[in-house]
């Protein structure tokens, strides 16, 4: 069963572009890269050649005699004379290229040759990407892929694009959701929180209609990630990387969610672990939310690289790391106790990243002023607060109404409840998080004037 993904439309537009370049699809392992390329090839090409450098290591020899497209094709057919390469009708797919990054050196030649379309992909590409980037700059296009977001999850449940359009319309017009809409979307969102967006997990849920066996798949994925550390973290302290990975959940459970190296191991120093954290970030396994120096624009460059929170790139994997009692509580009663705030922060962080919003937070030293996330629109800096209920947001109000932050004119609160607007704060249900970037791009300030 193939599940519709957002990359599908991107690949279609890529092929239709008359000057499209070889494509590199980046992303963590098992997020659906290979399945999406295969489905795209099935629908759009008469001929499809897939080479996987892990399962077919003999193909690493195809670059032994040089990097020209002609030489690569010659060596491929030497290894397998049965390959058919039809100019204009063939897609070459080089998969798991982290095991043979030299293949990226051929992309310039394939771009100039133009007889065949080329897509490269692989898990943990971020680890070797500096090398790949240096040899193919200007001759390839990138696409960053992640696990399913909530919109894609809705597609697996039979909802169409008009559902997302309707949710966005509610947000832009500040029209409350009906009781049925709110109940249904909130319930689906909680299911998504339990599952996360890893395709194998979601597929099992879709096929069975239950959560049975989904936890086992999630736990296996976590083990697979740790195995990747042992396989690909060359020249680094693999134990330290795994320790950092395993300490994300307990640190998110604390009131102060800033990631503290001192909590990972006794006597641990940040300089000894910086590379470990960067490895996990490059692998696409985790994502970092950096602390702003001050709530003002621009965001880039206005943060402390040594102060950050770490979140799982897929919240379903966070759920899988919880102790068995917390697992039962959430799956049966949707109650996470101490982990509830951590889960909602992680799922919102995930939604922001998947909608192309970078992660920043702010915590004022020696003060209670703290804000979960920030985004920017064309002219505004927008604080975003995550609530497990719908209680008062003192920090949000302070940021909006204080003259000390002139670029903040309104804020967003993500809540368990219906949407609304008061005191320059938009309140949206948690399930709207995947729409925040589109809301910021399309927001009409006139909509709120009658409510001011």
Give 68-79 as a DSSP string: -HHHHHHHHHHH
Q: Per-residue pLDDT tens for 50-71?
A: 999 999 999 999 999 999 999 9
Q: Which residue blocks in 137-269 are alpha helix, DSSP H?
A: 150-156, 161-173, 179-195, 199-208, 214-232, 238-246, 248-252
Would you state the pLDDT for residue 140? 87
| pLDDT beyond 90 at 47 | yes
Cα angle at 158 between 152 and 161, to 5 degrees? Answer: 55
Q: How far is CA 298 from CA 5, 28, 208, 302, 407, in A?
A: 32, 29, 47, 7, 10
pTM, two decimals, is 0.92
Which of helix, strand or coil describes residue 427? strand
Per-range mean pLDDT, top range of 104-113, 169-178, 300-309, 329-338: 169-178
| pLDDT beyond 60 at 336 | no
What's the rounded Cα separation, in Å, for the pair 144 and 193?
A: 22
Q: Per-residue pLDDT tens for 98-139?
A: 889 889 899 999 999 999 999 999 876 666 555 665 566 678
What's the rounded Cα separation, in Å, for the pair 70 and 51?
A: 17
What's the rounded Cα separation, in Å, for the pair 431 and 189?
A: 6
| pLDDT beyond 60 at 364 | yes
Q: Which H or E run contains 119?
A: strand 117-121
The pLDDT > 70 percentage for the chain reads 92
Q: How confident is the model at residue 338 (pLDDT cuts 50, 70, 90)?
A: low
Q: How confident is the model at residue 301 (pLDDT cuts 50, 70, 90)?
A: confident
Query: Quick one: which of 445, 413, 410 has its CA closest to 429?
Result: 413
Q: How far is CA 324 from CA 193, 215, 220, 251, 319, in A?
A: 17, 11, 16, 18, 10
What's the rounded Cα separation, in Å, for the pair 112 and 139?
A: 9
- Least confident range from 69-83, 231-245, 294-308: namely 231-245
Q: What burial letters (b/e) apply to 89-106, b meaning 16+ CB within 10 Å?
A: ebbbbbbbbbbbbbbbbb
């Amino acid at each position: 069963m193939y599940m519709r993904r957002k990359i599908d439309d991107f690949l279609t537009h890529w092929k239709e572009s008359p000057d499209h370049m070889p494509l590199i699809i980046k992303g963590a392992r098992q997020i659906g890269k290979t399945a999406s390329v295969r489905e795209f090839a099935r629908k759009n090409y008469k001929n499809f050649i897939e080479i996987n450098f892990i399962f077919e290591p003999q193909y690493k020899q195809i670059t032994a005699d040089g990097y020209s497209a002609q030489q690569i094709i010659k060596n491929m057919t030497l290894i397998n004379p049965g390959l058919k390469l039809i100019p204009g009708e063939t897609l070459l797919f080089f998969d798991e290229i982290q095991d043979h990054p030299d293949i990226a050196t051929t992309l310039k030649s394939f771009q100039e040759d133009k007889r065949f379309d080329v897509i490269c992909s692989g898990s943990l590409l971020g680890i070797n990407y500096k090398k790949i980037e240096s040899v193919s700059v200007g001759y390839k296009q990138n696409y960053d892929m992640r696990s399913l977001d909530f919109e894609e999850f809705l597609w697996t449940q039979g909802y169409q694009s008009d559902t997302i359009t309707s949710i966005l319309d509610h947000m832009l017009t500040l029209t409350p959701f009906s009781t049925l809409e709110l109940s249904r979307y909130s319930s689906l969102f909680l299911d998504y929180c339990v599952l996360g967006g890893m395709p194998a997990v979601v597929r099992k849920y879709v096929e069975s209609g239950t959560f049975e066996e989904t936890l086992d798949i999630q736990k296996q994925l976590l083990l697979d990630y740790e195995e990747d550390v042992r396989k690909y973290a060359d020249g680094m302290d693999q134990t330290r990387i795994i320790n950092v990975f395993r300490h994300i959940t307990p640190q998110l459970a604390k009131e102060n969610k800033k990631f503290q190296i001192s909590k990972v191991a006794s006597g641990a120093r940040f300089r000894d672990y910086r590379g470990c954290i960067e490895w996990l970030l490059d692998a696409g396994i985790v994502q970092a939310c950096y602390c702003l120096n001050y709530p003002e624009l621009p965001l880039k460059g206005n943060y402390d690289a040594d102060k950050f929170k770490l979140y799982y790139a897929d919240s379903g994997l966070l759920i899988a790391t919880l102790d068995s009692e917390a697992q039962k509580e959430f799956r049966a009663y949707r109650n996470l106790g101490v982990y509830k705030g951590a889960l909602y922060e992680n799922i919102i962080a995930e939604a922001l990243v998947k909608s192309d919003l970078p992660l920043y937070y702010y915590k004022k030293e020696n003060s209670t002023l703290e804000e979960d996330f920030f985004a920017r629109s064309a002219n505004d800096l927008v604080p975003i607060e995550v609530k497990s209920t719908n209680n008062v947001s003192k920090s949000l109000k302070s940021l909006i109404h204080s003259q000390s932050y002139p670029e903040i004119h309104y804020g967003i609160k993500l809540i368990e409840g219906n949407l609304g607007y008061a005191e320059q704060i938009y309140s949206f249900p948690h399930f709207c998080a995947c729409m925040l970037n589109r809301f910021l791009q399309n927001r009409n300030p006139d909509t709120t004037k009658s409510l001011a």
